[in-house]
Every structure is written in C-alpha cells, then in structure tokens.
Amino acid sequence: MQVKILAEGGEMKPSPALSQKLGPIGINVNQVIQKVNEATKNFKGMKVPVELEINPSTKDFEIKIFSPPVSELMKKELGIEKGSCEQKRFKQANASIGQIISVAKTKSQNLLCKDLKSAVKTVVGTCVSLGVLIENKPAKEIENEIDEGKYDKEIKGEITETSEDKKKELEEYFSKVKLEQDRIKKQEQALKEAKEEKDAKKAGTEE
C-alpha cells in the first residue's frame, strides 16, 4: 500500500487527513511523523514530497523522500517566501547563474532531463513563473542565452559558487529595480484610492 504526502520539511505535524489514511490499518501516526521529520530535517521551510510504502499485514512501513519542487528550492536559495503575483511586471529577486546551476544539480535526478543543461533550463523556466531575474535580466532572456551557449562553460564546469563581488552587483541592481517597483505600486494604489473616493462621492450624490 502506498500513501503520498506533501510534508513540511522537518516540521510535519499530526493531521486528520493523515490519521484517516493510517489509523484504519493500525499504523502509529506519531512514529511515521517522527521518521519523516528526521528524514526531511535538511529541507526546513519547504514542502517535501514523501511516499510511504506500507505493509498492512505486518504494519511495517518504509519512507521514500523526494527533493522538494524546483520552486521551493529556488525560493530557499534566494531567501524569498513566495513568487511574484505579477511575474511580468514585478520581480521578487535576482539570481546568479551559479545559483540556478546549484538548484538544477539538486533536482537533476528527479527532472528526467537528458543533461545538466536541460535541467538548468527547467530551473530558469521556474524563475519565469516566480518572477525572478537572473544575472540582472528577465529569465526568459536567459533561456535564449543558454540555447546560444553563453553559459556552457559554467554549466559544463558545474560552477555553483557566486563570488562576493557578483552577489553585491546583483543586490545593487535589484535594489534599484525594487525601488522603481515600489514607486509604481504606490502610484497605482493612490490612483485606486482616488477612484474609490470619487465613486463613493458619486454614489452619495445620486442617493
């Protein structure tokens, strides 16, 4: 018997759903939680896919841990809680190609990609949906540059380190991006509030 769970890394807690799945076959839920937390402690703050292989007759079970989704790994790598709600307009972070390669290496076995370059492109695709810049550029642009071979040296060399100078450069660039984004958001909020006030006054007059 197989039970699939999406657990909070290292911090899984008892839940009615889990009890309903395991209780009827006599499996100790707390024992399962303890083992899952021990196996996923290195993935704290991330959702981790877990499979339980259960033998209902002996009550024995085995735990199989899968690495978290690319989006979870990328968010942890960049220190962000969530992706952008408007990916095309507002960005959440600025990653180095080394960070992309690092996540790709972590996930490569689960991505069914033919090579690391394909895995890197998959991670870049996730950055598009999260609203993450890469090397100061939109992730979509980096996808094209990977196809053109611009980062072949880094990918073949599996270079995952980002120098302090590069980190500083990426941070400074994103600070400017964020300032402009905040300005746009404030401007749009002010326009929205002005419109609401105007509509409210109009509604009051019509009454």
- CATH number, domain containing residue 31: 3.30.1550.10
Among 134, 6, 116, smallest CA distance to 69 is for: 6
The domain containing residue 26 runs over which residues? 2-65
CA atoms within 13 A on the CB side of 59: 9
pLDDT tens-digit readout, 138-159: 999 999 999 999 999 999 999 9
- CATH number, domain containing residue 110: 1.10.10.250
pLDDT tens-digit readout, 25-35: 888 888 888 98
Do residues 124 and 158 both lie within one domain?
yes
Looking at the chain, the whole-number percentage of residues with pLDDT higher than 90 is: 47
pLDDT tens-digit readout, 87-99: 889 999 999 999 9
Instruction: Read off the pLDDT of each residue in 64-83 and give the average, rounded to a whole number.
Output: 87
Do residues 97 and 46 both lie within one domain?
no
Do residues 77 and 178 both lie within one domain?
yes
Q: What is the DSSP string of 39-107?
A: HTGGGTTSEEEEEEEEETTTTEEEEEE-PPPHHHHHHHHHT-SS--SSTTT---EEE-HHHHHHHHHHH
Whether 161 is covered by a domain: the verdict is yes
Whether 102 is covered by a domain: the verdict is yes
Do residues 53 and 75 both lie within one domain?
no
Strand 93-95, strand 2-8: pairing: unpaired
Number of domains within the chain? 2
Whether 126 is covered by a domain: the verdict is yes
Q: What is the pLDDT of residue 142?
A: 96
pTM: 0.72
